Amino acid sequence: MPEQKKLIQFKNIVKSFEDGQVVLKGVSLDIYENEFVTLLGPSGCGKTTLLRILGGFLQPTEGKVLFDGEDIVNVPPYKREINTVFQKYALFPHMNVYDNIAFGLTIKKEPKDVIAQKVMRMLRLVSLEDYADRNVTELSGGQQQRIAIARALVNEPSVLLLDEPLGALDLKLRKEMQQELKYIQQEVGITFIFVTHDQEEALTMSDKIVVMNAGEIQQIGTPTEIYRYPVNEFVANFIGETNIIDGVMQGDDLVTFEDKKFPCRARGFNKNEKVDVVIRPEHLDIVPRAEGMLKGVVKSQLFKGMHYDTVVETRVGTTITVKMQVSQDRPVLNADAGEKISASAFLIDVEDVGELDDAKVVALASAEAWDVETEEPISIKNVEYDIKPEVGSYSVTFTTAAGTSITVKAAVMAENRVESKVYQEEIYAMNFFKKVEDIQESIALDTDLETWASASAWSLEDGEQVEITDVKYDFDPETITPGVYDVTFSTEGYEYKVSTTHAFEEGEQVGLVFRPEDIHVMKKEGQW
């Protein structure tokens, strides 16, 4: 088999704009002759920018673009053997179908008989040979799209760029045009470079998929490789529905997740290396509970026509709910001294009372004083309290050297823990006080809530810390007002998406089975 020819080479392409935004961060990519290549990724990932650089509509900030071995960065668009089809077609409304297709050939002053021959060939290719005399405004969206493609192809480019050309079509027409485009590409035998954010489109049409995110290439491969063997969590989540579970490698071809060992087809990992385990919904089967490799409960089921999207919960996780009392900051003013002082009521665990000192009390109450004019901080000279290791409410007074003082309440609470015998773990958190301003000014609220509540969880078997993966609360941080609010912390639960042709009742006890070859193991993010 002859070696494929490299037609296009992007070498370390960087693109930044005047506002400092870096859209492409050193992209390198080879595209071969007669390939159908799809640039796939979310909005803003850089795929259209890369396409426009190839078309000559944008200049890269750094890097080279080689076409058949020659750098074309400084070659104007009209001199490149490349044509582009845009989402909005860009047809000439005052021309009929024939003249739209013939426009480029007419500009080149080709003979009329040659033009006619080429135009009719294109019309046959896109199955619109009876539409030559029609006005383009009378055509449907799908017909207009085919005319735009015919107009681009009639100039016999080496490469056709398609920038989300199906985005304006309805679902049925989109699917028809996907097949049409693949057929046209095979018929004309040239390189197609297709831009889309639609995963199904990419999987259906492409010889090669380039997955992009945040200006970088995440993975390059065939549709099968991208779908079955994603290299990271982003690709796995972006390409279709999936289940990603925390796992630990036990050695070649053996992985542990949900505290059970399963055979797999994974090599090259270190023993005890933490990994992500990927199982696609269609690779899971629901069986009677006693036969399941994993056991769970049907949480929900949605009928999709040919199948049911079913969610099976195998582990709920361990949960604890605490109270957050929110107050408005009302500092005390000492006009004579030109000082203000503020502090918040706070909560403390009964077993932590013995470790209290002045500095800890100041920190717990967020106590502070400052000069009214300069806003320079002023030291708190004296902290008065008599907090006992008993559940109850106690007064705490903070005073500056000038006598500016404020008194708040400290509530000693019983230990707040939840133990799960099923999952052999324990979770702890405490009720707490906060100011409205603290909530509104928080940049990472979930993290701050964990800190304020001293939330933590650990394994009862080995004492190792267990990650709190979910924080829920019943308030809007931007509009929060003084009051008492629930904050719930949870360790990770496990839910599996399953694609099945069978109907199940919510709450039904079931089992899940899968094959070793259906388990894909990925390195954890940041462990490369």
Final residue of a domain: which of 169, 200, 234?
234
Is residue 424 located within the same domain as residue 338? yes
Final residue of a domain: which of 234, 253, 268?
234
Is residue 400 located within the same domain as residue 458? yes
| Per-residue pLDDT, 1 | 43
Q: Does residue 387 register a pLDDT over 70? A: yes
Q: Confirm whether 528 is domain-assigned.
A: no
Q: Confirm whether 386 is domain-assigned.
A: yes
In the three-class reduction of DSSP (H, G, I as helix; E, B as strand; rest coil), residue 68 is classed as coil
Is residue 28 located within the same domain as residue 119? yes
Cβ–Cβ contacts within 10 Å for residue 193, how many? Answer: 25
User: Is the sign of the CA dihedral 184, 186, 187, 193 positive or negative?
Assistant: positive
| Per-residue pLDDT, 154 | 81
Is residue 21 located within the same domain as residue 152? yes
Is residue 473 located within the same domain as residue 458? yes
* Cβ contact 162:181 at 8 Å: yes
Q: Confirm whether 1 is domain-assigned.
A: no
Here the CATH number for the domain that contains residue 103 is 3.40.50.300
Q: Which helix (H) or strand (E) holds 150?
A: helix 141-153
Q: What is the pLDDT of residues 204-255, one digit of tens each?
A: 889 999 999 999 999 999 999 999 999 999 999 898 889 999 899 999 999 9
Is residue 158 located within the same domain as residue 283? no
* Cβ contact 438:366 at 8 Å: yes
Alpha-carbon distances of 352 from 412, 416, 424, 456, rounded to whole Å:
9, 12, 25, 15
Q: Confirm whether 128 is domain-assigned.
A: yes
Final residue of a domain: which of 175, 210, 234?
234
Is residue 55 located within the same domain as residue 199? yes
Here the CATH number for the domain that contains residue 436 is 2.60.40.10
Q: Does residue 260 register a pLDDT over 80? A: yes
* Cβ contact 286:307 at 8 Å: no
Structure confidence at residue 527 as a pLDDT band (50, 70, 90): very low
Q: What is the pLDDT of residues 239-251, one digit of tens each?
A: 888 999 989 999 9
Angle 112-125/141-153 helices, nearest 10 degrees?
130
Query: Residue 227 burial by CB count (10 A; 0-12/13-18/19+): exposed, middle or buried?
Result: buried
Q: Confirm whether 504 is domain-assigned.
A: no
* Cβ contact 406:339 at 8 Å: no
* Cβ contact 155:100 at 8 Å: no
Domain count, the chain: 3
Closest CA to 319 of 466, 437, 162, 136: 466
Is residue 131 located within the same domain as residue 219? yes
Is residue 255 located within the same domain as residue 397? no
* Cβ contact 157:108 at 8 Å: no
Is residue 245 located within the same domain as residue 230? no
Total residue length of the chain: 528
Tokens read off for 48: 């259209």
Q: Confirm whether 500 is domain-assigned.
A: no
Q: Which helix (H) or strand (E) holds 342?
A: strand 339-342
Q: Does residue 72 register a pLDDT over 70? A: yes
Is residue 198 located within the same domain as residue 282? no
Q: Confirm whether 143 is domain-assigned.
A: yes
Helices and strands, number each (H, E), in the chain: 11, 35
Q: Confirm whether 219 is domain-assigned.
A: yes
**Domain limits for position 307:** 241-316+509-523
Pairing of strands 392-400, 380-385: antiparallel
| Per-residue pLDDT, 118 | 85
In the three-class reduction of DSSP (H, G, I as helix; E, B as strand; rest coil), residue 450 is classed as helix
Is residue 264 located within the same domain as residue 409? no
Structure confidence at residue 88 as a pLDDT band (50, 70, 90): low
Q: What is the pLDDT of residues 138-195, one digit of tens each?
A: 888 778 878 888 888 888 788 888 888 776 666 776 777 788 778 878 888 889 999 9
| Per-residue pLDDT, 258 | 87
Please give the Cα distance from 139 to 151 (Å, whole number): 15
| Per-residue pLDDT, 83 | 82
Tokens read off for 231: 């290299």
Closest CA to 234 of 55, 367, 41: 41
